[in-house]
């Protein structure tokens, strides 16, 4: 990493600047150091662009911010439902928890964060909830000796949804408590002793899970099914698979044209226009396309209280003993520690995007992030962190004040309460969302491997 010039506090020691330079050089050359931890508590230079005053560009956040974050929210839920087909009819309920988390997180960041940004939901959390649903479903089948209800849902699906929502909320609270403890006891500094290849391998594995979720979302089959049962898979499924991979490559190619996160809504819009335009040119009706599962299922309007009602109705059937099982603890602890490692690095990296005008206090930022996740978890929400994407887009558009964060939060709050807007998402074909998740998985894998190649000693790559 290249250290950014900073205005530091005057020191009585004449060799203090030289000592700092040696310490920063050593930190950047350390192959075991996941990031430049010497930048955690430094005085940031003043914003030479002037004071942050209201600009009309702040009013663009309901459009720009929503077009960036909403595809990620749908992809987040898509990863979960792809791994758990029984939850597909309850997509609106899962989507409501994500939207509420983003709305609350925006208000929280506008008040307590040192950065002018909103919150983001991470695909690491989606991978955890997906694996949690698979584990809980298998345990329910084993312990209750019930048959799989299939994609049609039913009481078993509703009971699984309630169990997943409770587990999701517990995980979010656990992440928040770990962040609070890390801020209280300055535990972030111990991350320097975590070997980077370990973190890189875990992130690469998560990328494979996300990549597999793209195939499941686009063609309703995992990579294991496509490879192991290719002879039994119908031709229509292969067409969906090819379309998913093609759209995923399209999203990856857009990175060279559109550098910021606007490539996601632009890509979804382009794919939607091509699919609907091609269907109209070929004379294919929307009913036929829906019958062939070319659109997302389960996006019918539902009341915002439906998720809470499901938990209350099925609370007696929730097996709390599963949350003390070895499988659950192993899954939760590993993902919680990964979140504890990743979220502080997001907070540190935000200094390059939104430079605070006062001295940056990492412990204070991690503390407020932990408090946010505890609060969101109590409302059945998902883990939240800092958003790079929206901040970059809004700063490029000319936004300057925290008003854009508040307006974006109000927009997501309206989406949470007015569920009649959500069926409009169903016009986007599943191959578009599957390709989006596919491209995000490839991004995770390639980014972790490239970063590992830059940080791990060359002797390790050569095998000694």
pLDDT digits (tens, 9 = 90+) for 35-92: 444 444 433 333 433 445 777 778 878 877 786 688 778 888 988 988 888 888 888 8
Output the pLDDT for position 178.
Answer: 94
Residues 6+ apart with CB under 8 A from 204: 444, 445, 448, 449
Output the pLDDT for position 157.
Answer: 83
**Top mean-pLDDT range of 78-82, 242-246, 373-377, 446-450:** 373-377
Q: Tell me if 371 sits within 8 A of 175, measured CB to CB.
A: no
| Phi-psi label, residue 250: left if phi above 0, alpha if psi -120 to 50, beta otherwise | alpha
For residue 98, pLDDT over 90 is answered with yes
Distance set, CA 453 to CA 38, 196, 456 (Å): 22, 10, 6
Output the pLDDT for position 276.
Answer: 87
Output the pLDDT for position 40.
Answer: 40
Question: pLDDT per residue over 11-30, tens digit each?
Answer: 444 455 555 555 544 444 44
Question: Mean pLDDT score of the chain, rounded to an integer?
Answer: 77
CA distance 438 to 81: 15
For residue 152, pLDDT over 50 is answered with no
Output the pLDDT for position 336.
Answer: 93
Output the pLDDT for position 173.
Answer: 96
Taking every pair of Cα atoms in the chain, the longest distance, rounded to a whole number of angstroms, is: 79
Output the pLDDT for position 175.
Answer: 95
Stronger pLDDT, 3 or 227, i.e. the higher one: 227
What mean pLDDT is predicted for residues 250-268?
77
State the residue for tokens 């996300």. 210
Question: pLDDT per residue over 117-139, tens digit each?
Answer: 888 888 889 999 999 999 998 88
Output the pLDDT for position 143.
Answer: 62
Output the pLDDT for position 21.
Answer: 54
Residue 85: name the closest of 213, 232, 270, 230 by CA.
213
Output the pLDDT for position 62.
Answer: 84
State the residue for tokens 């990964």. 338
State the residue for tokens 């939607």. 272
112-116, 204-208, 317-321: the lowest-pLDDT one:
204-208
What mean pLDDT is predicted for residues 219-244?
81
For residue 290, pLDDT over 80 is answered with no
CA distance 213 to 34: 27
For residue 146, pLDDT over 50 is answered with no
For residue 387, pLDDT over 70 is answered with yes
Output the pLDDT for position 352.
Answer: 63
What mean pLDDT is predicted for residues 268-297?
83
For residue 396, pLDDT over 70 is answered with no
Percent of the residues in the chain that have a pLDDT greater than 70, as a whole number: 73
Question: What are 198's strand-pairing partners?
Answer: none
Question: pLDDT per residue over 29-45, tens digit each?
Answer: 443 334 444 444 433 33
Residue 100: name the closest of 136, 64, 130, 76 by CA.
76
What mean pLDDT is predicted for residues 271-283?
88
Q: What angle do CA 222, 223, 227 make, to 5 degrees?
A: 120
For residue 212, pLDDT over 60 is answered with yes
Percent of the residues in the chain that have a pLDDT greater than 90, as a whole number: 21
Per DSSP, helices labelled H in 318-429 are 326-349, 362-377, 388-397, 403-417
Residues 6+ apart with CB under 8 A from 101: 119, 121, 376, 379, 381, 382, 384
Residue 265: name the closest of 75, 2, 79, 28 by CA.
75
187-196, 413-422, 442-451: the lowest-pLDDT one:
187-196
Question: What are 385's strand-pairing partners?
Answer: 120
CA distance 93 to 299: 9
Output the pLDDT for position 11.
Answer: 47
Output the pLDDT for position 261.
Answer: 58
Output the pLDDT for position 395.
Answer: 77
Output the pLDDT for position 43.
Answer: 36
72-76, 242-246, 261-265, 276-280: the lowest-pLDDT one:
261-265
């Amino acid at each position: 990493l290249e250290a950014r010039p900073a205005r530091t506090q005057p020191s009585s020691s004449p060799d203090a600047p030289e000592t700092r330079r040696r310490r920063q050089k050593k930190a950047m050359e350390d192959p075991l150091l996941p990031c430049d931890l010497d930048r955690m508590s430094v005085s940031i230079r003043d914003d030479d662009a002037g004071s942050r005053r209201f600009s009309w560009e702040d009013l663009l956040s309901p459009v720009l911010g929503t077009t960036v974050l909403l595809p990620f929210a749908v992809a987040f839920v898509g990863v979960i439902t792809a791994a758990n087909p029984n939850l597909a009819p309850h997509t609106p309920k899962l989507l409501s928890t994500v939207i509420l988390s983003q709305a609350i997180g925006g208000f929280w960041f506008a008040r307590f964060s040192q950065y002018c940004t909103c919150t983001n939901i991470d695909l690491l959390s989606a991978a955890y909830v997906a694996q949690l649903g698979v584990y809980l479903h298998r345990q329910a089948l084993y312990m209750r000796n019930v048959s799989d209800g299939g994609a049609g849902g039913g009481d078993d699906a509703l009971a699984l949804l309630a169990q997943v929502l409770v587990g999701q909320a517990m995980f979010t609270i656990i992440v928040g408590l770990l962040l609070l403890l890390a801020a209280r006891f300055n535990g972030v500094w111990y991350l320097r002793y975590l070997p980077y290849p370990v973190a890189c391998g875990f992130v690469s594995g998560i990328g494979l899970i996300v990549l597999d979720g793209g195939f499941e979302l686009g063609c309703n089959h995992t990579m294991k099914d496509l490879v192991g049962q290719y002879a039994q898979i119908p031709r229509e499924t292969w067409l969906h698979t090819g379309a998913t991979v093609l759209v995923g490559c399209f999203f990856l190619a857009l990175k060279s044209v559109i550098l910021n996160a606007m490539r996601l809504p632009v890509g979804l819009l382009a794919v939607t226009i091509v699919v609907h335009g091609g269907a109209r040119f070929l004379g294919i009706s929307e009913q036929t396309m829906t019958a062939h599962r070319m659109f997302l299922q389960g996006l019918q309007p539902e009341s915002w209280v439906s998720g809470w009602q499901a938990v209350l109705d099925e609370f007696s059937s929730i097996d709390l003993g599963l949350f003390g099982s070895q499988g659950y603890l192993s899954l939760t602890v590993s993902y919680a520690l990964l979140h504890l490692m990743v979220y502080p690095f997001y907070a540190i990296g935000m200094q390059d995007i939104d430079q605070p005008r006062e001295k940056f206090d990492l412990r204070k930022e991690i503390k407020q992030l932990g408090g946010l996740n505890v609060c969101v978890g109590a409302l059945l929400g998902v883990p939240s962190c800092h958003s790079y994407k929206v901040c970059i887009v809004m700063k490029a558009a000319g936004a300057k004040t925290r008003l854009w964060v508040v307006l974006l939060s109000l927009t997501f709050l309206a989406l949470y309460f007015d569920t009649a807007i959500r069926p409009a998402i169903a016009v986007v074909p599943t191959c578009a969302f599957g390709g989006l998740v596919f491209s995000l998985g490839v991004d995770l894998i390639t980014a972790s491997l490239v970063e590992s190649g830059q940080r791990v000693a060359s002797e390790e790559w050569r095998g000694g």
